[in-house]
């Protein structure tokens, strides 16, 4: 009776992939979806209303990260922000210096960064990938050594999108600046969950995506320090100080700003409660399910738990959990359909078996004690079923 009753109420534990839009964000957006639909680049009253809303959102977000409003540029997502910072900086410096320079990043960045690095390499730039240790942190000595070869830009994420480890970005940025390189930080998994201040972190560029903290999908922002080299990623009009063409997503921008304000205001209280629930889930899994191990050490963002189950394929486990009402992930949502072991866990040096048996739970302020209890009951049942069937793939088993 337990699993059948539980299935009537679904438990969502994949907030690192995306979050439900908050009531505050939705309410802020609604006026600009119908009544205040003017194009911010036009001159009449409806347009001026939209322009004022965009600039108010810009000022609000800038205040939250310790920036000046003119250093905040609105984008469509974290992927665009990462691409723009990396390619825009490297190409701007290549034009100024008359040479294609060196880009340094880590081996377990988000695909938006790693694929940008690959594109730079294909275009003739020098690219270096710094290793990470088994506990999920950048090798700072190797990072400094890579910078010592004349780097122009370095990039490291603040919080890893799979294991949740919080990187020593301020130290990495200081090392980059000491080597006369600019520094970019992918803060997509961090903003709204831990404090993010661009002055304290000493970064030149910082990427954020709205849907990771209860804002809408399809909107993000890039912080670019005043004077940091940056070329447009695409050609267009004169929006965003002439650097990012395209009519602004007014409703999305306003909604993201409202979600950001709410997340940052409630951050300390939410983080304590979310971390307590995450730790409870972790403790009970380790105590109640044999053959389990945690991936990534502390410090981690409050809601992320990546854990491997011996003798279990995570893709089959995700599917079985879904059938019984629990949403979790086999890794990053951007790579979970590829069927290959997580590049993050591979970069940590974990075995293929351990990587393929890894499941990521990511909690939010909406997660409850009842969600943890329900998840444990269903998870134990699913693990037992998969292990008892001798690792038979669920799809083949059904056929």
Verify that 41 and 103 share a domain, yes or no: yes
Distance from C-alpha of 128 to C-alpha of 117, rounded to nearest angstrom = 9
Catalytic residue among 77, 185, 327, 334: 334
The conformation of residue 190, written as its DSSP 8-state character, comes to T
Give the CATH number of the domain where residue 208 resides. Answer: 3.40.640.10
Q: Are residues 256 and 273 in the same domain?
A: no
234 and 284: one domain? no
Q: Is residue 192 part of a domain?
A: yes
Q: Which domain holds residue 160?
A: 23-262
Q: Which one, of 275, 283, 268, lies nearest residue 303 by Cα?
A: 275
Asked whether the beta carbons of 54 and 252 are under 8 A apart, the reply is no
* pLDDT attached to residue 364: 98
Backbone angles phi, psi at 89, to 5 degrees: -70, -45
Query: Is residue 6 domain-resident?
Result: no
Q: Look up 334 and say whether it is catalytic.
A: yes
- Same-domain status, 340 and 224: no
385 and 246 in a single domain? The answer is: no
Residue 3 lies in a domain: no
Q: Which residues pair with 151 in a beta bridge?
A: 102
State how many domains the chain has: 2
Cα Rg, the chain, nearest whole Å: 22
Instruction: Tell me which residue of 357, 279, 278 sits closest to 318, measured CA to CA.
Output: 357
Statement to judge: residues 293 and 245 lie in one domain: no
Give the neighbor-by-neighbor strand order of the sheet with 220-224. 72-75, 220-224, 205-209, 182-186, 151-157, 102-106, 126-130
Whether residue 353 is contained in a domain is answered as yes
pLDDT digits (tens, 9 = 90+) for 303-338: 999 999 999 999 999 999 999 999 999 865 454 455
| Domain boundary residue, one of 262, 281, 310 | 262
Residues 56 and 174 in one domain: yes
Residues 33 and 153 in one domain: yes
CATH number of domain containing 328: 3.90.1150.10
**Integer angstrom CA distances of residue 262 from 50, 191, 211, 269:** 21, 12, 13, 12
Q: Are residues 90 and 239 in the same domain?
A: yes
For residue 194, tell me if it sits in a domain.
Answer: yes
Confidence at residue 211, expressed as pLDDT on a 0 to 100 scale: 98
Q: What is the reported pLDDT for 329?
A: 95
Per-residue pLDDT in tens (0 to 9) along the chain, 399 residues: 344 444 468 999 999 999 999 999 999 999 999 877 777 767 677 788 889 999 999 999 999 999 999 999 999 999 999 999 999 999 999 999 999 999 999 999 999 999 999 999 999 999 999 999 999 999 999 999 999 988 999 999 999 999 999 999 999 999 999 999 999 999 999 999 999 999 999 999 999 999 999 999 999 999 999 999 999 988 888 888 888 988 899 999 999 999 999 999 999 999 999 999 999 999 999 999 999 999 999 999 999 999 999 999 999 999 999 999 999 998 654 544 556 789 999 999 999 999 999 999 999 999 999 999 999 999 999 999 999 876 434 333 233
Q: Which of 262, 292, 325 is the last residue of a domain?
A: 262
pLDDT at 40: 76
Q: How far apart are CA 357 and CA 285, in angstroms?
A: 14
Residue 310 forms part of a structural domain: yes
User: For residue 307, is it within any domain?
Assistant: yes
Q: How many CB atoms within 10 Å of residue 205?
A: 27
Q: Are residues 343 and 195 in the same domain?
A: no
User: Within 10 Å of residue 45's Cβ, how many Cβ atoms?
Assistant: 10
Beta carbons within 8 Å of 22's beta carbon, 6+ residues apart: 214, 215, 258, 259, 262
Q: Is residue 145 part of a domain?
A: yes
Q: Are residues 284 and 249 in the same domain?
A: no
pLDDT at 5: 46
**DSSP secondary structure letters along 226-260:** TT-----SS---STGGGTS-S---HHHHHHHHHHH
Q: Where are the beta strands (DSSP E) in the chain?
A: 11-12, 72-75, 102-106, 126-130, 151-157, 182-186, 205-209, 220-224, 292-294, 304-309, 326-327, 358-362
3-state SS, residue 140? helix
Which of 262, 281, 307 corresponds to the end of one domain?
Answer: 262
Task: Select from 291, 262, 335 the least CA-distant residue to 111.
Answer: 335
Q: How far is 86 from 230, CA to CA, in rounded Å?
A: 9
- The answer to whether the pTM exceeds 0.85 is yes
- Asked if residue 370 and residue 292 are part of one domain, the reply reads yes
Sheet arrangement for strand 304-309: 292-294, 304-309, 358-362
């Amino acid at each position: 009776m337990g699993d059948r009753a539980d299935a009537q109420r679904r438990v969502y534990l994949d907030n690192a992939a995306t979050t439900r839009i908050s009531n505050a964000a939705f309410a802020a957006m609604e006026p600009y979806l119908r009544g205040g639909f003017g194009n911010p680049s036009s001159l009449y009253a409806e347009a001026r209303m939209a322009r004022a809303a965009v600039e108010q959102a810009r000022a609000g977000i800038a205040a939250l990260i310790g920036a000046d409003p003119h250093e905040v540029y609105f984008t469509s997502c974290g992927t665009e922000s990462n691409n723009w910072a990396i390619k825009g900086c490297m190409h701007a410096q290549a034009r100024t210096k008359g040479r294609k320079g060196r880009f340094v990043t880590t081996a377990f960045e988000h695909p938006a960064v790693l694929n940008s690095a690959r594109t730079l390499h294909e275009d003739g730039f020098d690219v270096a990938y710094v290793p990470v240790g088994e506990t999920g942190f950048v090798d700072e000595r190797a990072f400094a050594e890579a910078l010592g070869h004349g780097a122009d830009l370095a990039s490291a994420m603040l919080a890893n999108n799979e294991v949740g480890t919080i990187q020593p970005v301020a130290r990495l940025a200081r090392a980059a600046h000491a080597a006369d390189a600019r520094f970019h930080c992918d803060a997509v998994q961090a903003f709204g969950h831990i404090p993010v201040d661009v002055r304290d972190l000493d970064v030149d560029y910082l990427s954020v995506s709205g849907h990771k903290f209860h804002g809408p999908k399809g909107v993000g922002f890039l912080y670019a320090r005043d004077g940091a080299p940056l070329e447009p990623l695409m050609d267009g009009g004169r929006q965003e100080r002439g650097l990012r063409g395209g009519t602004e997503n007014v409703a999305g921008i306003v909604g993201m700003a409202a979600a950001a304000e709410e997340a940052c205001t409630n951050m300390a209280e939410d983080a304590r409660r979310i971390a307590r629930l995450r730790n409870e889930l972790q403790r009970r899994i380790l105590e109640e399910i044999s053959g389990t191990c945690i991936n990534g050490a502390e410090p981690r963002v409050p809601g992320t738990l990546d854990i491997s189950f011996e003798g279990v394929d995570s893709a089959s486990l995700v599917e079985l959990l879904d059938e019984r009402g629990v949403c979790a992930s086999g890794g990053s949502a951007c790579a979970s359909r590829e069927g290959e072991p997580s590049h993050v866990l591979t970069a940590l040096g974990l075995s293929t078996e351990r990587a393929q048996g890894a499941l990521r739970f990511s909690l939010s302020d909406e997660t409850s004690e009842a969600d943890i209890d329900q998840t444990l009951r269903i998870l134990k049942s699913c693990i037992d079923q998969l292990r008892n069937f001798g690792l038979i793939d669920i799809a083949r088993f059904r056929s």
